[in-house]
Amino acid sequence: MSAGRIVIAHLSDLHFGAFADLAQIEALETFIPTIGLDAAVISGDLSQRARHGEFQAAHAFVNRIKPHAPVVVVPGNHDIEWWKSPLDLLGERGKYRKYSRYFRELRPVVEIPGAVFAGALSSYGVAFGSLTWNIRDLAVKGHLPASETDRVTGIFAKAPPAVAKVLVFHHNVLPGALSRRMGLARWRSTHRRLLATRADVILCGHDHQEGAGQIGGALPVSTSGTHSARVRGKRPSVFNLVTIEPSAVHIQHFRWQPATREFQPSDTYSFARAGPPKVAVSVAGGDQGL
Ligand SMILES: [Fe+2]
Ligand SMILES: [Fe+2]
């Protein structure tokens, strides 16, 4: 942290396994230590099929970043073995057992000087809260129960006003620019609860296309891309550099350049740091929840 600034590398959807782009992974490993980070965040989908080898590769990647910055990791829909307990008929714990073996916390809370990171669990697989009328959403869509947003609200309420409050989960809360899809079921009510957490910024992924915007005209959102071959619209992969200042949040895209095998700084979006919670929601797109 320098003079009230917090700098975060926001990565997502690494998808270790058949689709991971190792050139990008290796470029991240060499580039991230040069940025001067306060923290790195990986907002889920570390694996493709929740296999041991995929988690082991992801774990090794995290360990290579850790000497340079604390790393906050949350699980994505690809990281859980929902088929071991569809609709939680056999309990919840089994489907997270493999992920937890490598990354321990499903809901990590990390404090550093000047910032607190709260991870929220949005990935439940085939679960009642994530069900919609669209069959394509099955085991893909996520949801954020009130228990999760209430827990995060409590964490952030204990932090002094000047401390940056960073909320991390997997599913995108803004519609993808190409997909036009929301990651979360029942997003309207979720947006209201997210605004009430008093977070300064939300970091999420899942859409496989980068994004930067706000919900409720007040709360900045960073959506990071993917470092796998499963990019949207054949566009280059992107990770986001998020800088939180006392009165602003900046989200800068770093785009992958296949020809030179490096990430180049690109578009930057700046938002006022979130003020008092507002109730109005100003996001286009239909609510796909039941
Ligand atoms: Fe993904
Ligand atoms: Fe995902």
Domains in the chain (CATH in brackets) are: 6-272 (3.60.21.10)
Given a cut of 90, whether residue 215 has pLDDT beyond it is yes
CA atoms of 98 and 73, how far apart (whole Å):
15
pLDDT at residue 135, rounded to an integer:
83
Task: Tell me which residues have their CB within 5 A of the ion that is ligand 2.
Answer: 45, 76-77, 206
CA atoms of 108 and 33, how far apart (whole Å):
23
Of 283, 144, 177, 275, whose CA–CA distance to 219 is shortest? 275
Mean predicted confidence (pLDDT) in 189-193: 96
Ligand nearest to the CA of 74: 2
The token pair at 270 is 């700046």
| Chain position carrying tokens 């932090």 | 159
Mean predicted confidence (pLDDT) in 136-161: 94
Span from the CA of 161 to the centroid of ligand 2 (angstroms) = 32
pLDDT at residue 138, rounded to an integer:
82
Span from the CA of 289 to the centroid of ligand 1 (angstroms) = 20
Burial class, 113, CB count within 10 angstroms (exposed 0-12 / middle 13-18 / buried 19+): exposed
Given a cut of 90, whether residue 89 has pLDDT beyond it is no
Span from the CA of 206 to the centroid of ligand 2 (angstroms) = 4
Span from the CA of 23 to the centroid of ligand 2 (angstroms) = 21
Helix (H) or strand (E) holding 95: helix 93-103
CA atoms of 277 and 249, how far apart (whole Å):
16
Span from the CA of 209 to the centroid of ligand 2 (angstroms) = 11
Given a cut of 60, whether residue 201 has pLDDT beyond it is yes
Span from the CA of 77 to the centroid of ligand 1 (angstroms) = 8
Q: Are 75 and 123 in contact (CB under 8 A)?
A: yes
Span from the CA of 13 to the centroid of ligand 1 (angstroms) = 4
pLDDT at residue 163, rounded to an integer:
97
Instruction: Note the pLDDT tens digit of each residue in 25-68.
Output: 999 999 999 999 999 999 999 999 999 999 999 999 999 999 99
Q: Which residues contact 137 (CB under 8 A, 6 or more apart)?
A: 130, 131, 185, 288
The token pair at 236 is 């280059």
Given a cut of 60, whether residue 278 has pLDDT beyond it is no
CA atoms of 280 and 189, how far apart (whole Å):
11
CA atoms of 132 and 128, how far apart (whole Å):
9
Instruction: Give the pTM.
Output: 0.92
Backbone φ and ψ of 46, nearest 5°: -75, -30
Share of the chain above pLDDT 70, in %: 93
Backbone φ and ψ of 26, nearest 5°: -65, -35
The mean pLDDT value of the chain amounts to 91
Share of the chain above pLDDT 90, in %: 81
Ligand nearest to the CA of 12: 1
SS3 at position 244: strand
Span from the CA of 225 to the centroid of ligand 1 (angstroms) = 9
Span from the CA of 94 to the centroid of ligand 1 (angstroms) = 21
Mean predicted confidence (pLDDT) in 74-81: 97
Q: Which residues contact 211 (CB under 8 A, 6 or more apart)?
A: 172, 174, 176, 177, 221, 222, 223
pLDDT at residue 2, rounded to an integer:
65
Model confidence at 94, pLDDT cuts 50, 70, 90, reads confident
Given a cut of 50, whether residue 19 has pLDDT beyond it is yes
